[in-house]
Structure 1
Amino acid sequence: MSEPGTSDDTPLPEPGDAPRRPAFVYAIGRIGCRFPDRGVEKEFAQATGRTDTRGRTDHEALHEVIDRPENRYLARQLLYVFSVRGVETYTVRPRYEEDYDRLIEAVRPQPTPLDLDVLIGVREPVPPGGCGGSRLPMVEFEQVYSFDRTELVDAVDKPKDMPAKRFRKTADEVLTRLLAVAANAGATAEDRAANYITCRYAAVYVKTFEAFAADSALTSIDVGPAPVGGDRGVVSFTLSFTQRGTDLTERWSALVDTEYLYPYLLTPLAPSL
């Protein structure tokens, strides 16, 4: 897994070189914002003075100001930073002007430790001189969506015969384990596959619940190139369950294709050797 916060010093292609494959990113973290310079900070202070923010927290006041249509010019001037596990990893900007709404939504008026943002886009080289005083790589995103852990767990379809309270505890534990795997920059094929599975594939939660009910433990989560197709971005995602009484281990794997911007499930979760 790649470490979050690493800079991208990859040289630009020389004229005549073969086209370089886009550096796709699919990452899970948190989006915040800051002022790129004192001028923007002072302009924001003037806009705040024109807004009724009495009784609001600093986060609420910030969101109130940048969410107003007349202040959209300010929202475009802020520096948006994507962090993974508290480590600043990318600066972000939308590919399309109207998608600043996604960034404003991510800058929550009442943030909590449960908040999560998914960033999907293309990593660009660090611009000369950095961006807004930052030397972080830039990701131009196609999609950002925001939710919290509770919403993600609630989105998993619970089998009818499973008690809701027990299923929620199981799903939350699995999510914690998956987010530990997803503590990455979302830049390699393995990272992108793990992050896609974490957010989009409910079968891993259901299978783990079934394993717990059969007195098995989730002993490992492994992500790596598939035996076939790994050279073109096919990734194997494997859950290992060990029976607590017999110490026998069974493995369930799914294949994820990461060749394109949006990863997708190539084969569903099934027993593997």
Structure 2
Amino acid sequence: MKNGSSMEKFLRRIAPQAIIVLVLSLVMVAGAVVFQYLDPVLAKQSFYEVIFFEFITISTIGYGNQYPQTLHSRIFSIFFSIIGIPLLVVTLGNFGKYLTKFYWKAYGRFYSEKTQQKLVNDIDMPGPAITLLYSFTFLFGFIFIPHSGESYSVDDWYLSFISFATVGFGDKIPEINTFGKFSMVTTYLLWGTILNIMLITYVTRWFSQLFDRKPYRGRDVEVLIGGQCITVSEITSLVAEQFHASPHQIRAMLHDIDEIMDDIKPNEEAETDQNSEIIVQ
């Protein structure tokens, strides 16, 4: 029963993401067919090169070496971007969340007592961890990613940065003249964009905490317990079911306990101070 429930919960989480990835893939394939039909220049390119052009478009990198050159393909590129950009952002953002949860679960294998108390949805991967991933990613690009600039030089770091930051000046362009290079470069850029989204989220959250903003509702926050994520709302429902009470009653009780603890704390501090005075005397 427990295994079935875990599988059902897993499918509920994975299914929406799988559907988004499937829709994005279909949009990319269909878009490539339409682009090659509407644009004679793109029609001369290989199918995977047109896919790369689409990815560069909806990721907003836009190196500028590939672009629609007919009126109809330009009009189509507008509608394609309106659909593709949100799909890609949502997809990569979700992958970033999964990567963050994987990090905390892996961390919890070694430091379970500390990790179980962390709010998985309310915190991001630590800045040093993101920086470390960035470092390894840039190192990989430095060694393996082919481009139009000088290899094993500042151009390698420069290309990675302007690509991940979606600046894409166009002075340095990755080479995708074979399917193998296309696969490696596309995967590299996808991974780098995910890290970039995670970094932006981390910095945004840091500034939010700096100004004491609370963008999330407490009941929607997830807590890692026993290697599984469960929301505060679900915990409340489970406790309510166990004691045959309503979730509202449980929340009210927790609120009362919180107030009682606040009242007890000053009294305990006062007693501690009195005991200290007695000992001194």
Q: Same fold (TM over 0.5)?
A: no
Please identify the structure whose Cα radius of gyration is greater.
2
Name the one with the larger helix percent: 2
* TM-score normalised by the chain length of structure 2: 0.24
* TM-score normalised by the chain length of structure 1: 0.24
